Amino acid sequence: MQKPAITAVPVHDLIQERWSPRAFNGAPISKETLAKLFEAARWASSRFNSQPWRFIVASNDDADAFEKLASCLFDGNYVWASKSSAIVAVIASLKGKPDADPNPAFMYDVGLAVGQMVLEATANGLAVHQMAGIDRGKIKERFNVPDDHAIICCLAIGEMGEAANLSETLQEREAAPRVRKPLSEFVFSGDWNQAADL
Protein backbone atom coordinates (compact mmCIF):
# COMPACT_ATOMS: atom_id res chain seq x y z
CA MET A 1 0.00 0.00 0.00
CA GLN A 2 1.47 3.31 -1.08
CA LYS A 3 0.44 6.62 0.48
CA PRO A 4 2.64 9.34 -1.04
CA ALA A 5 2.51 12.68 0.72
CA ILE A 6 0.59 15.48 -1.01
CA THR A 7 3.23 18.15 -0.54
CA ALA A 8 2.82 21.93 -0.82
CA VAL A 9 6.11 22.14 -2.73
CA PRO A 10 8.17 19.37 -4.35
CA VAL A 11 10.41 17.32 -2.03
CA HIS A 12 12.69 14.32 -2.54
CA ASP A 13 10.88 11.11 -3.49
CA LEU A 14 12.12 9.33 -0.35
CA ILE A 15 10.45 11.94 1.85
CA GLN A 16 7.25 11.82 -0.16
CA GLU A 17 7.08 8.01 -0.11
CA ARG A 18 7.95 7.50 3.59
CA TRP A 19 5.07 6.74 5.91
CA SER A 20 4.42 4.61 9.00
CA PRO A 21 2.37 1.50 8.22
CA ARG A 22 1.22 -1.05 10.75
CA ALA A 23 0.89 -3.91 8.27
CA PHE A 24 4.13 -5.86 7.84
CA ASN A 25 4.69 -9.17 6.06
CA GLY A 26 7.46 -10.47 8.34
CA ALA A 27 9.89 -11.21 5.50
CA PRO A 28 13.42 -11.51 6.94
CA ILE A 29 15.79 -8.58 6.51
CA SER A 30 19.39 -9.46 5.69
CA LYS A 31 22.15 -8.42 8.07
CA GLU A 32 23.67 -6.45 5.22
CA THR A 33 20.51 -4.39 4.80
CA LEU A 34 20.18 -3.80 8.55
CA ALA A 35 23.82 -2.71 8.60
CA LYS A 36 22.99 -0.06 5.97
CA LEU A 37 20.36 1.45 8.25
CA PHE A 38 22.76 1.72 11.17
CA GLU A 39 25.50 3.05 8.90
CA ALA A 40 23.09 5.81 7.82
CA ALA A 41 22.52 6.61 11.50
CA ARG A 42 26.26 6.54 12.15
CA TRP A 43 26.85 9.43 9.75
CA ALA A 44 24.28 11.78 11.25
CA SER A 45 25.60 15.04 12.63
CA SER A 46 25.71 15.59 16.39
CA ARG A 47 26.83 18.16 18.96
CA PHE A 48 30.65 18.06 19.15
CA ASN A 49 30.42 14.81 17.18
CA SER A 50 29.36 13.12 20.43
CA GLN A 51 27.20 10.54 18.61
CA PRO A 52 24.89 9.87 21.58
CA TRP A 53 22.71 7.30 19.79
CA ARG A 54 22.64 3.69 20.92
CA PHE A 55 20.48 0.91 19.46
CA ILE A 56 19.34 -2.55 20.51
CA VAL A 57 18.25 -4.59 17.48
CA ALA A 58 16.27 -7.82 17.37
CA SER A 59 15.46 -9.59 14.09
CA ASN A 60 12.68 -12.12 13.69
CA ASP A 61 15.19 -14.73 12.51
CA ASP A 62 16.06 -15.10 16.23
CA ALA A 63 12.65 -15.72 17.78
CA ASP A 64 13.79 -15.48 21.42
CA ALA A 65 15.68 -12.20 20.98
CA PHE A 66 12.83 -10.76 18.94
CA GLU A 67 10.23 -11.64 21.56
CA LYS A 68 12.44 -10.31 24.35
CA LEU A 69 12.29 -6.84 22.80
CA ALA A 70 8.81 -7.07 21.23
CA SER A 71 7.30 -7.92 24.61
CA CYS A 72 8.48 -4.51 25.87
CA LEU A 73 5.95 -2.82 23.57
CA PHE A 74 2.54 -1.75 24.86
CA ASP A 75 -0.17 -4.24 23.86
CA GLY A 76 -1.66 -1.91 21.24
CA ASN A 77 1.68 -1.80 19.43
CA TYR A 78 2.68 -5.43 20.05
CA VAL A 79 -0.35 -6.75 18.16
CA TRP A 80 0.97 -5.42 14.83
CA ALA A 81 4.67 -4.68 15.46
CA SER A 82 5.29 -8.32 16.39
CA LYS A 83 4.62 -9.10 12.69
CA SER A 84 7.52 -6.88 11.57
CA SER A 85 10.95 -8.19 10.58
CA ALA A 86 13.01 -6.32 13.16
CA ILE A 87 12.46 -4.18 16.22
CA VAL A 88 14.98 -1.59 17.34
CA ALA A 89 15.11 0.18 20.70
CA VAL A 90 16.45 3.72 20.34
CA ILE A 91 18.51 4.86 23.31
CA ALA A 92 20.51 8.01 24.00
CA SER A 93 23.59 8.59 26.06
CA LEU A 94 22.78 11.65 28.15
CA LYS A 95 26.40 12.77 28.01
CA GLY A 96 27.52 11.55 24.60
CA LYS A 97 31.09 11.10 25.85
CA PRO A 98 31.84 9.59 29.28
CA ASP A 99 33.82 12.59 30.57
CA ALA A 100 31.54 15.25 29.06
CA ASP A 101 28.95 17.49 30.64
CA PRO A 102 25.29 16.58 30.04
CA ASN A 103 24.40 17.06 26.38
CA PRO A 104 21.40 19.40 26.05
CA ALA A 105 20.95 18.35 22.42
CA PHE A 106 20.94 14.58 22.88
CA MET A 107 17.31 14.15 21.74
CA TYR A 108 17.92 16.31 18.69
CA ASP A 109 21.05 14.35 17.78
CA VAL A 110 19.35 10.96 18.18
CA GLY A 111 16.36 12.19 16.16
CA LEU A 112 18.67 13.10 13.29
CA ALA A 113 20.25 9.64 13.39
CA VAL A 114 16.86 7.91 13.35
CA GLY A 115 15.67 10.20 10.55
CA GLN A 116 18.59 9.08 8.41
CA MET A 117 17.85 5.44 9.27
CA VAL A 118 14.24 5.86 8.19
CA LEU A 119 15.18 7.39 4.84
CA GLU A 120 17.77 4.65 4.23
CA ALA A 121 15.11 2.06 5.02
CA THR A 122 12.74 3.70 2.54
CA ALA A 123 15.49 3.67 -0.10
CA ASN A 124 15.85 -0.07 0.49
CA GLY A 125 12.14 -0.83 0.08
CA LEU A 126 11.45 -1.09 3.81
CA ALA A 127 8.99 0.68 6.07
CA VAL A 128 9.59 1.94 9.59
CA HIS A 129 6.97 2.66 12.24
CA GLN A 130 8.28 4.57 15.27
CA MET A 131 6.60 3.93 18.63
CA ALA A 132 6.63 5.80 21.91
CA GLY A 133 4.18 3.26 23.41
CA ILE A 134 6.83 1.11 25.08
CA ASP A 135 7.67 -0.07 28.59
CA ARG A 136 10.94 1.74 29.22
CA GLY A 137 11.38 0.08 32.60
CA LYS A 138 11.27 -3.38 31.02
CA ILE A 139 13.79 -2.39 28.36
CA LYS A 140 16.13 -0.93 30.98
CA GLU A 141 15.91 -4.06 33.14
CA ARG A 142 15.99 -6.73 30.42
CA PHE A 143 18.86 -5.18 28.48
CA ASN A 144 20.86 -3.68 31.37
CA VAL A 145 20.64 -0.13 30.03
CA PRO A 146 22.87 2.14 32.18
CA ASP A 147 21.32 4.89 34.29
CA ASP A 148 23.00 7.66 32.29
CA HIS A 149 21.08 6.63 29.16
CA ALA A 150 17.52 7.52 28.12
CA ILE A 151 15.25 5.04 26.33
CA ILE A 152 13.56 7.10 23.60
CA CYS A 153 11.34 4.84 21.46
CA CYS A 154 11.22 1.63 19.44
CA LEU A 155 11.10 1.10 15.70
CA ALA A 156 9.29 -1.68 13.83
CA ILE A 157 11.03 -2.34 10.50
CA GLY A 158 10.08 -4.53 7.56
CA GLU A 159 8.38 -4.88 4.24
CA MET A 160 4.82 -3.62 4.07
CA GLY A 161 2.14 -6.26 4.34
CA GLU A 162 -1.58 -6.39 3.59
CA ALA A 163 -3.78 -4.03 5.58
CA ALA A 164 -6.52 -6.68 5.38
CA ASN A 165 -4.54 -8.71 7.94
CA LEU A 166 -5.04 -5.99 10.57
CA SER A 167 -8.03 -5.50 12.84
CA GLU A 168 -10.88 -3.39 11.47
CA THR A 169 -9.83 -0.43 13.63
CA LEU A 170 -6.22 -0.61 12.45
CA GLN A 171 -7.34 -1.02 8.83
CA GLU A 172 -9.18 2.28 9.14
CA ARG A 173 -6.08 3.97 10.54
CA GLU A 174 -3.96 2.42 7.80
CA ALA A 175 -6.25 3.79 5.09
CA ALA A 176 -6.70 7.24 6.64
CA PRO A 177 -5.28 10.12 4.59
CA ARG A 178 -1.94 11.55 5.63
CA VAL A 179 -2.26 15.09 6.94
CA ARG A 180 0.18 17.75 8.12
CA LYS A 181 -0.11 21.31 9.38
CA PRO A 182 0.53 23.99 6.76
CA LEU A 183 3.94 25.70 6.79
CA SER A 184 2.28 28.90 8.01
CA GLU A 185 1.53 27.25 11.37
CA PHE A 186 5.12 26.39 12.28
CA VAL A 187 7.55 28.46 10.20
CA PHE A 188 7.78 31.98 11.61
CA SER A 189 9.71 35.14 10.72
CA GLY A 190 10.01 38.44 12.55
CA ASP A 191 7.96 37.37 15.57
CA TRP A 192 6.33 34.34 17.17
CA ASN A 193 3.31 33.11 15.19
CA GLN A 194 4.09 35.48 12.33
CA ALA A 195 4.13 33.20 9.31
CA ALA A 196 7.24 33.35 7.18
CA ASP A 197 6.68 34.45 3.60
CA LEU A 198 7.49 31.20 1.81
Q: Which domain holds residue 72?
A: 13-166
Task: Kindly tell me if the per-residue pLDDT of 1 is higher than 90.
Answer: no
Contact 30, 61 (CB under 8 A): no
Determine, yes or no, domain membership for 129.
Answer: yes
Contact 26, 83 (CB under 8 A): yes
Determine, yes or no, domain membership for 181.
Answer: no
Across residues 40-53, what is the average pLDDT?
Answer: 95
Determine, yes or no, domain membership for 60.
Answer: yes
| Residue 2 pLDDT grade (very low, low, confident, very high; cuts 50, 70, 90) | confident
Determine, yes or no, domain membership for 93.
Answer: yes
> How many independent structural domains does the chain possess?
1
Contact 174, 22 (CB under 8 A): yes
Q: pTM for the whole thing?
A: 0.94
* DSSP 8-state symbol, 91: E
Contact 162, 23 (CB under 8 A): yes
Determine, yes or no, domain membership for 77.
Answer: yes
Determine, yes or no, domain membership for 111.
Answer: yes
Determine, yes or no, domain membership for 174.
Answer: no
Q: Count the residues in the chain.
A: 198
> Is the Cα torsion angle 121, 118, 150, 63 positive or negative in sign?
negative
Of 91, 69, 85, whose CA–CA distance to 34 is shortest?
85
